[in-house]
Amino acid sequence: MKKILVWDLPVRLTHWLLAVLVLGAFALANLASDESVVFALHAIAGLIALFVIALRSVWGVVGTRWARFRAWPLRPSALVRYLRGVFSDRASEAGVGHNPATSWFALAVFVGIAGLGVTGFLAARGNEAAEEVHELLAWSVIGLVALHVAGVLLHVARRRENLVATMITGRRAGAEVDGIPSARAGVASVFLVLAVAFGALLLSGLDVRQRRLALPLIGTPLALGESEREDASKRSTSGDAGAASASDETRADDHDDDDEDDD
């Protein structure tokens, strides 16, 4: 069967960018000391990954045929039928686009990365509970990636189709009517420029000495080291205590004023 163009360049670019950024952020977070400058880079990699997810989400609405979210077979029944086919001798129900397993995987990873962004932000602001959830989410996403790699290897072994090459060239065997007319290289170039520019903005806001990162546009400072997060937590706690103390003093003053009025 003739090979047709299925995956446009924006899809392939965001796929490989996310692979590098997610694995890179995980490696930096686990191999470097919390107090090192290298550890701070894991937050930048994670934020760029979140930005790439945003770009991919836009393309999932306005992109080419197989890039759109509506082309993802997310019905649970379709997933069950597909998995039965994978572990049997009969061909599984999958078209040239995302199969049900990769559709659910992509959705879970997108949600996981978004959750990592939110919990990472809260943890950097001194929220200890968010830090625990952040670590759990990170391991969950890596677990999903491992399952994805295992699924790709199984597909290659059973179906004799090189899915890695497919995600590089964008082509796979299929009916000509299912192919897309253009790789949309212009859109991919814009996405790459935006991702690089966003990364440069993040780096410009990084204070290496203080291990703090000022978010672009809003300028909110994030503590990127363990000691810095503890300081942020203490400041938050002392701020709450100060507010409570001020409130108590105000109530006491009001009570004294009432006593004077009674006299």
244 lies in the same domain as 114:
no
The model's pLDDT over 141-199, given as tens digits with 9 standing for 90+, comes to 999 999 999 999 988 888 888 899 999 999 999 999 999 999 999 999 999 999 999 99
59 lies in the same domain as 155:
yes
211 lies in the same domain as 253:
no
The Cα–Cα gap between 237 and 232 comes to 9
Residue 243, pLDDT score? 47
231 lies in the same domain as 182:
no
Closest listed residue to residue 239, CA positions, set 78, 101, 126, 123: 126
The model's pLDDT over 186-196, given as tens digits with 9 standing for 90+, comes to 999 999 999 99
CATH assignment of the domain containing 215: 1.20.950
Domain with 58, as residue range(s), is 3-224
The model's pLDDT over 196-213, given as tens digits with 9 standing for 90+, comes to 999 999 999 988 888 888
185 lies in the same domain as 245:
no
216 lies in the same domain as 241:
no
78 lies in the same domain as 172:
yes
Lowest mean per-residue pLDDT among 187-196, 203-212, 223-232, 239-248: 239-248
154 lies in the same domain as 207:
yes
Q: How many domains does the chain have?
A: 2
Across 121-126, average pLDDT: 89
Residue 161, pLDDT score? 84
41 lies in the same domain as 147:
yes
Percent of the chain with pLDDT over 70: 83
DSSP-based three-state secondary structure for 189: helix
Helix 100-124 crosses helix 37-62 at what angle (to 10 degrees)?
140
Residue 103, pLDDT score? 95
